[in-house]
Amino acid sequence: MKVASSNEIRLLDKEAVEKYGISHEILMENAGAAVARLILHTASEEDTVAVIAGPGNNGGDGLVCARHLASHGMDVHVYLVADPERLSELVKKNLDRVALANIPVEKVTEKNVEELQDVLPFYDVIVDALFGTGLTRPLEGVYKEAVEAINDSGSLVVSVDIPSGINSDTGEVMGTAVKADFTVTFGLPKIGLLLYPGAEYAGEILVSHISYPRSLIEDDRIKVETNDPLYPPPRQPDTHKGDYGKALFIAGSKRYYGAPMLASRSFLKAGGGYSRLATVSSIVPFLAIRAPEVVYEELEETSSGTISYRNLEKILKLTEASDIVAIGPGIGLDDETARLVLELIPRINKPLIIDGDGLTILARDTTILSTRKYPTVITPHPGEMSRLTGKPIEEIKKSRLKTALEVAQKLGSYVVLKGAHTVIATPEGKAYINLTGNPGMATAGSGDVLVGAIAGMYGIGYGFEEAVRMGVFVHGLAGDLAAESIGMDGLTAVSIMNFLPRAMKELRENFERIYNENSLPVLV
């Protein structure tokens, strides 16, 4: 599903009105009715409801919701945190309708806002209609106190469009924000609902299309989507290992032999055919016991036990006989090895995944990517992204989507910016927000499994972009299945890897269920 920024949703809104004759009044009516529908499905008709309405159209949606709930016989009160004299005509019209329906309206100001702390706990349900996509600055004063009263109430909280206080484009908390149990979002989901911390504040997200024409919902101008799964290419009965990809992993050093093992083995666990690992000779005997299915190419070592520059031609030769190459996991940061990596990257004429230490080395000179003739994907976590861009980690965390898109365009590479709800950006300016995965996966080696999973998806026959997307999806799904089976606390990279076959089986056999469980539900 497409995911919109606040500007894009304004544009769609404008087109719905101007091009399709769907007035703003209709959209607001549909929006408020959708929230009411969710409450009627979720709560009982005897429940009491408080609608906290702000100064803009978000508040207007809340007023419509109040009227629909009252018409179902629910006991509804409106708390208007706005000056009734300064409302737009449409919101004013809906406030009048609320009054005509005999729904009590209380005006909340700096003077009486404290009372919300006392009254809100008595309501079963609170509708948060303070601010939506029109939020422009941090919440202060009466608004801040209203949000705190909502959060302290202990009631079921339903946010209208987006939790008030969340920035709809970045997911940032603007001063303070409502912690919702449910969010009903209109037209399309907003970026800030899917990026953290917004995603955590939103609770369960439901999308209501509020009668937008389909052409707007699927508008090509919107470049961000949720990373919905794509059905896997079939495995034919009459096939051999070469049909599922030949991957080469250039990885490992004397100090790090978990990373190369996890990457090269995860490729096979995800369905890839033939896995070769080019690594320093001294660790091969240990690895061969842990990963006997992998074919080892022994390399000469530097004095610090990393891959020596002397292997340059040998490695290039190995890449020629491969379909996809991954470089970097556990390779270390020795200067000689760095020189090798920087020379290899532009000369590997195969699709390439760069991860881990490979990224730290790449950060010395990212221009080497510009001459590559085959697609490249880099898979940084925010720390590695900070090295690649020179931006502080905190800034990257606040602008994950924007940063991933900028870097993808600048480097002409695919970018997988890892973290909760990993962001995938393409060199053409598209982006996908991934919804699989869980906090248990923040564990050492998880990224190495991801490298293998992406290579594996390419091996089984997805195109490069699809393989990047599906590698991220399946890695998260494997982590979710592992967490379901053994819990999040003891989740290690090996357990994520070991659940890759199950993830693929689920994807093949229960595609629809997996799709539905890992995409945003539409409220009908």
Residue list for the binding site for K(+) = 58, 128, 164
CB of 134 to K ion, least distance (A): 10
Q: Please report how close the Cβ of residue 2 comes to K ion at its closest, in angstroms.
A: 21
Task: Answer for the pair 233, 312: CB distance below 8 angstroms, yes or no.
Answer: no
| Contact partner, 296, from ligand NAX, K ion, none, Cβ < 5-8 Å per class | none
Q: 404 is written with which tokens? A: 């991933």
**Beta strands 324-327 and 352-354, pairing class:** parallel
Shortest distance (Å) from residue 212 CB to ligand NAX: 8
**Which of ligand NAX, K ion, none does 133 bind, CB closer than 5 to 8 A by kind?**
ligand NAX
Nearer to K ion, 178 or 369 (CB): 178
Cβ proximity of 308 and 340 under 8 Å: yes
- Give the pair of three-digit tokens for residue 193: 């609902």
**Residue at 209: amino acid letter:** H
CB of 50 to ligand NAX, least distance (A): 18
Pick 173 or 248: Cβ nearer ligand NAX: 173
Summarize as ranges the residues that interact with K ion (CB under 5 A).
128, 159-160, 164
Binding positions for AMP are: 418-422, 447
Chain residues binding ligand NAX by CB under 6 A are: 9-10, 13, 27-28, 31, 54-61, 131-139, 143, 160-161, 186-187, 210
Three-state DSSP state, 458: helix
Question: Cβ of residue 132: shortest distance to ligand NAX, in angstroms?
Answer: 2
- Which residues are annotated binding-site positions? 57-61, 128, 132-138, 143, 161, 164, 259, 330, 381, 418-422, 447-448
If contact means CB under 5 to 8 A according to the sort of partner, which of K ion, ligand NAX, none does residue 273 touch?
none
CB of 316 closer than 8 Å to CB of 347: yes
3-state SS class at 234: coil
Q: Which does 322 bind (CB under 5 to 8 A by kind): ligand NAX, K ion, none?
A: none
**Whose CA is closest to 519, among 183, 227, 231?**
227
Q: Which is nearer to ligand NAX, 47 or 61 (CB)?
A: 61
Q: Residue 175 or residue 463: which is nearer to K ion going by CB? A: 175
Binds 176, which of ligand NAX, K ion, none (CB < 5 to 8 A, cut-off by type)? none
Q: Which CB, 59 or 171, lies closer to ligand NAX?
A: 59
Q: Which is nearer to ligand NAX, 424 or 520 (CB)?
A: 520
In degrees, rounded to 5, the angle at the alpha carbon of residue 283 between the alpha carbons of residues 279 and 284 is: 70
Whole-angstrom distance, CA of residue 220 vs CA of residue 209: 17
Q: Which is nearer to ligand NAX, 61 or 448 (CB)?
A: 61
For the chain, helix, strand, coil in percent to 5 are 45, 15, 35
How many C-beta atoms lie closer than 10 Å to residue 352's C-beta? Answer: 27
Q: How far is the CB of 135 from K ion (least distance, A)?
A: 9
Picked from K ion, ligand NAX, none, the partner binding residue 9 (CB below 5 to 8 A depending on kind) is: ligand NAX
Report what 159 binds from ligand NAX, K ion, none; CB cut-off 5-8 Å by kind. Answer: K ion
Sheet containing 204-208: give its strands across. 105-107, 75-80, 48-53, 125-129, 156-160, 182-186, 204-208
Annotated binding site for (6S)-NADPHX: 57-61, 132-138, 143, 161, 259, 330, 381, 448
Q: How many CB atoms lie within 10 A of CB 337?
A: 25
Output the smallest distance, CB 127 to K ion, in A: 9
Give Rg (Cα) of the chain. 26
Alpha carbon separation from 75 to 48, 50, 53, 146, 152 (Å, rounded): 5, 9, 16, 21, 21
